[in-house]
């Protein structure tokens, strides 16, 4: 049976987001998701809170994190404790030590600071997948991310990069079986579920992030 997961989502524990953990869990179930990964910036507090709130054993909550590295943002899934920002090789080593999965987030992000600066070809032995579709990135850059994954024989994921409720579950990763095996065997696919994709909605999302992170007004 095909499963559908949201693999890039932030809570109020990221300074750039205002999403309440309880509300995210409600939205996930309203939208018929089978699982979710909470990927707050450099913390797993939100993931642990949602995992504790979840009472449905058939719904998977993956403890995850979006970690800052010297080369760019890295999504780590199935971690047991938070990984500190640092050198890419150190973050990857710690993630795998914990039995986690390493995914390069938005390698061709809309803004330069969001882009991955490492050479995927040289680093692919340490990478499990590439985020080929990010809800806060334009179609042009998402296509480049997909091509990057295909060129290097890496699995793909898709995620909304949701910081606010209106962004939640715009982009999902779909697969059969369990996520670990699907990524290992390159059987994951990306599904876009919302028309709220494109420069206008991306602009709105980043503007809200600015208001939240810099001015704390929402």
Each residue's pLDDT expressed in tens, for the chain with a length of 218 residues: 899 999 999 999 999 999 999 999 999 999 999 999 999 999 999 999 999 999 999 999 999 999 999 999 999 999 999 999 999 999 999 999 999 999 999 999 776 567 899 999 999 999 999 999 999 999 999 999 999 999 999 999 999 999 999 999 999 999 999 999 999 999 999 999 988 888 899 999 999 999 999 888 88
What pLDDT is attached to residue 217?
83
Specify the DSSP element, H or E, that contains 21. Answer: helix 21-30
Burial 15-52 (b: 16+ CB within 10 A, else e): ebbbbebeebbebbeeeebbbbbbbbbebbbbbbbbbe
Residue ranges per structural domain of the chain: 2-215
**149 SS3 class:** helix
pLDDT at 218: 85
Side-chain-side CA neighbours of residue 168 (13 Å): 24
Q: What is the pLDDT of residue 111?
A: 67
Place domain 2-215 in its CATH homologous superfamily. Metal-dependent hydrolases (3.20.20.140)
């Amino acid at each position: 049976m095909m499963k559908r997961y949201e693999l890039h989502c932030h809570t109020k524990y990221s300074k750039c987001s205002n999403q309440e953990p309880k509300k995210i869990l409600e939205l996930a179930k309203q939208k018929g998701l089978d699982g979710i990964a909470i990927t707050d910036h450099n913390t797993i507090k939100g993931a642990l809170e949602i995992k504790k709130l979840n009472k449905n054993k058939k719904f998977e909550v993956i403890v995850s994190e979006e970690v800052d590295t010297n080369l760019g943002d890295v999504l780590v899934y199935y971690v047991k404790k938070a990984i500190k920002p640092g050198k890419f090789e150190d973050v990857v080593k710690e993630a795998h030590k914990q039995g986690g999965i390493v995914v390069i987030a938005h390698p061709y992000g809309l803004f330069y600071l969001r882009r991955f600066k490492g050479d995927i070809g040289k680093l692919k032995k340490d990478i499990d997948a590439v985020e080929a579709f990010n809800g806060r990135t334009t179609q042009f850059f998402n296509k480049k991310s997909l091509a990057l994954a295909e060129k290097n024989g890496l699995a793909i994921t898709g995620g909304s990069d949701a910081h606010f409720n209106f962004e939640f579950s715009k982009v999902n990763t779909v697969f059969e079986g369990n996520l670990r095996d699907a990524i290992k065997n390159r059987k994951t696919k990306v599904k876009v579920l919302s028309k709220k994709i494109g420069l206008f909605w991306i602009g709105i999302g980043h503007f809200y992030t600015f208001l939240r992170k810099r001015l704390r007004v929402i």
